[in-house]
Structure 1
Amino acid sequence: MISRWAWAGRVVAWLGLAGHLCTLPYYLASGLVAPLWAIIVLLLAWLGLLALAVLAVRARSAWGLAVPIVAVALWWCAITAGEVFLGWQA
């Protein structure tokens, strides 16, 4: 029988993966503000974070819940920095 903590780690890891998939529309909609090169870099970062989320699910690690938080923070910082420092506009 699976212990309570192992079960919780599995559920949290799956929630992290689901949350990360919910960030994809924001990354895809970045084309309204960012140039093509920035969108490619952001999508590569998103794919890297997806790999981390899948690894967290396979390892049943609760750290998987941090993946969507990092994804949102990375996207927000990249778009904001592009607007402020590089003059990106919608």
Structure 2
Amino acid sequence: MRDPSGQAVRPSLVGRFLAWVGIVAHVVVLFFYVVSGLVMPAWAVGVLVVIWAGLLAVAIALLRTRPPWTLVVPLVAVVVWFAVVSAGDAWLGWTA
């Protein structure tokens, strides 16, 4: 991060802590992505894991630039997972 004068600024301790909470929460979401193979085909789980990895890259970028925003990444991951599982159930007949 940089201040208006262009000097590099370290995030606060609270900001760094929140960033790592977001990263850990995102790793926890991976569990839900992987076990959803019980209700969806393997190709769909593969697509979800690729999406998860992309969101991890976003979280790492946010970790460096805007640490507290990493808390949003696991929320987005949960919304994507829920949307995919719900859509698969509604339109493709995925069931447990």
C-alpha separation in 1, matches of 2:34 and 2:44: 11
TM-score (norm 1): 0.87
Partner of residue 73, structure 1: 79
Instruction: Please report how far the alpha carbon of residue 82 of structure 1 lies from its aligned counterpart in structure 2 after TM superposition.
Output: 0.3
TM-score (norm 2): 0.82
- Please say which structure displays the higher CA radius of gyration: 2
| RMSD between superposed Cα atoms in Å | 1.7
Task: Encode CA deviations 1:17-74: one digit per residue, 9 max, x unaligned.
Answer: 0110111110000111111221111000000011111112222521100001001111
Structure with the bigger RCO (C-alpha within 8 Å, sep 6+) is 1
| Residue segments in structure 1 that go unaligned for 5+ positions in a row | none
Identity %: 44
- Partner amino acid for 1:10? R
In structure 2, the CA distance between the partners of 1:34 and 1:83, relative to structure 1 (3 Å rule), is: same
Q: Which runs of 4+ in 1 moved over 6 A?
A: none
